[in-house]
Structure 1
Amino acid sequence: MKQEQWCVRVPVKEGEPMRRQLISDGVLDTSLKPARDGAFLLFPVTEPTRATERWECEAHAKAIPLPRHDLVGGIAIMQDDDVHEAEMLLASRPSIHTVLFAETPVSGEYRTRGFRVLAGEPVTATECTEYGMRLRIDLEAAYFSARLANERQRIVSLMEEGERVCDMFAGVGPFAIALAEKAGIVIAGDINPGAVLLMEQNIRLNRRKNIIPMLADARHLAEYLATGSFDRIIMNLPMSPVPFFGTAVRLVRPGGTIHLYAMQEREGEYREMIEAYPCTIRGEYQVRSYSPTQHHAVYDITRTNGSE
Structure 2
Amino acid sequence: MERQCIKIPKKKGEPARRILLDFEILDISLKIGSDESFLYLPLSRELLLHELTELPAEAKLAEFNFEPQKNKPTPEDILGFSPAYELIGDVALLEDSDLDSQKALRIAYVLLQTHSNIKTVLRPLTPVIGEFRLRDFEVVAGEPRTETVHREYGCRYKVDLAKAYFTPRLSTERSRILSWIKEGDVVVDMFAGVGPYSILLAKSKKPSKVVAIDKNPVAVHYLIENITFNSAKNIEAIEGDAREEAKKFAGTADHVIMNLPHNAYEFLDSAVLLTKPGGIIHYYGMTPEDDLFESSIKLIREAAEKAGRQVEVLEERVVRSYAPHQYNICIEIRII
TM-score by length of 2: 0.70
Shift of 1:264: 1.2
Change (3 A) 1:60 1:168: closer
Given the alignment of the two structures, is residue 298 of structure 1 paired with residue 336 of structure 2, yes or no?
no
Structure 1 position 252 matched with structure 2 position 275: yes
Q: How has the CA–CA distance of structure 1 residues 61 and 231 changed in structure 2, closer, same or farther, with 3 Å as cutoff?
A: closer
CA pair 280-96 structure 1, distance change in 2 beyond 3 A: same
Q: Kindly report which structure 2 residues correspond to 1:32-111, keeping only aligned pairs within 5 A, or say none.
A: 63-64=76-77, 65-80=81-96, 81=99, 82-111=104-133
The answer (yes or no) to whether the contact 1:77–1:100 under 8 Å persists in 2 is yes
CA separation in 2, counterparts of 1:302 and 1:60? 50
The separation in 1 between residues aligned to 2:149 and 2:245, in whole angstroms, is 30
SS in 1 for 2:177: helix
- Aligned partners of 1:87, 1:173: CA distance in 2, in Å? 32
Matched residues in 1 for 2:72 and 2:216: separation?
49
Give yes or no for contact 2:73–2:114 (8 Å, CA) kept in 1. Answer: no
In the TM superposition, 1:186-205 aligns within 5 A as 186-205=210-229
SS of corresponding position for 1:158? coil
Whichever residue aligns with residue 184 of structure 1, its letter is: S
From the superposition, tell whether residues 272 and 86 of structure 1 become closer, same or farther in structure 2 (CA, over 3 Å). same
Q: Is the 8 A contact 2:246 2:273 kept in 1?
A: yes
List alignment gaps of at least 5 residues for structure 1: 1-15, 18-57
Does the aligned pair in 1 maintain the 2:220–2:237 contact within 8 Å? yes
Where in structure 1 do 4 or more consecutive aligned residues deviate above 3 Å?
58-63
Taking the aligned partners of 1:107 and 1:59, their CA distance within structure 2 comes to 40
The alpha carbon displacement at 1:217 in A equals 0.4
Number of aligned residue pairs = 248
Return the letter of the residue paired with 2:261.
Answer: P
Structure 2 segments unaligned to the other structure (5+ residues): 3-69, 305-309
Is 94-103 or 265-274 further displaced after alignment?
265-274
**Offset of residue 99 of structure 1:** 0.8
CA distance in structure 1 between the partners assigned to 2:142 and 2:190 by the alignment: 35
- Closer, same or farther in 2 for the Cα pair 1:138/1:229, shift >3 Å? same
Aligned-pair identity (%): 41
Distance 2:321 2:71 in 1: 36
The 5 A counterparts of 1:1-308 are 63-64=76-77, 65-80=81-96, 81=99, 82-180=104-202, 181=204, 182-225=206-249, 227-266=250-289, 267-268=292-293, 269-276=295-302, 277=304, 278-304=310-336
Q: Distance in 2 between matches of 1:280 and 1:101?
A: 43
Measured against aligned partners, the alpha-carbon deviations of 1:134-157 in whole angstroms (never above 9, x if no partner) come to 111110110001111111111111
Give the whole-Å Cα distance in 2 for the aligned partners of 1:296 and 1:59.
Answer: 36
Residues 66 and 89, structure 1, Cα contact 8 Å, conserved in 2? no
Tell me the distance in 2 between the aligned counterparts of 1:159 and 1:300. 12
Q: Quick one: which amino acid aligns to residue 259 of structure 2?
A: N
* Distance (whole Å) between structure 1 residues aligned to residue 90 and residue 190 of structure 2: 28
What RMSD, in angstroms, separates the aligned Cα atoms of the two structures? 1.9
